[in-house]
Amino acid sequence: MNTLKVLKLIDNDIYKELCFHFDKIPNKKFYNKLVRKYTRLTKNRFLNVMIRFEYIHYTFAYIRYRLIKEMVKFLKNKKVIEVGCGTGLWYKYLQYQGVNIKAIDNYSIDYKFRFKANGIINKNAIKYIKKHKNSYDVILMIWPPYDHDFAYNIWKNMKKGTYLLYIGEGYDGACANDKFFNAVEKYEINNKYIQNMQKYFVTFMGMYDDVYLFKKK
Q: Is residue 180 part of a domain?
A: yes
Q: Is residue 41 part of a domain?
A: no
Q: Specify the CATH number for the domain of residue 123.
A: 3.40.50.150
DSSP secondary structure letter of residue 134:
T
C-alpha distances in Å from residue 32, one per residue of 21, 85, 204: 20, 28, 18
* Alpha-carbon torsion angle 187, 153, 61, 91, nearest 10: 100
Could you list the mean pLDDT of each consecutive 10-residue stretch along the chain, which spans 217 residues?
48 50 44 47 46 77 87 97 94 91 92 83 97 97 97 98 98 96 97 96 84 97
Q: Is residue 38 part of a domain?
A: no
Range of the domain at 140: 74-202+209-215
Q: Is residue 152 part of a domain?
A: yes
Q: Is residue 161 part of a domain?
A: yes
pLDDT value at residue 99: 96
Q: Is residue 92 part of a domain?
A: yes
The crossing angle, in degrees rounded to 10, of helices 89-96 and 65-75 is 70
The whole-angstrom separation of Cα 34 and Cα 144 is 28
pLDDT value at residue 12: 55
pLDDT value at residue 50: 57
pTM greater than 0.75 (yes/no):
yes
- Which runs of E-coded beta strand occur in the chain? 79-83, 100-104, 138-142, 163-168, 188-189, 210-215
pLDDT value at residue 48: 52
Q: Is residue 50 part of a domain?
A: no
Q: Is residue 158 part of a domain?
A: yes
**Could you give the number of structural domains in the chain?**
1
pLDDT value at residue 149: 97
pLDDT value at residue 65: 81
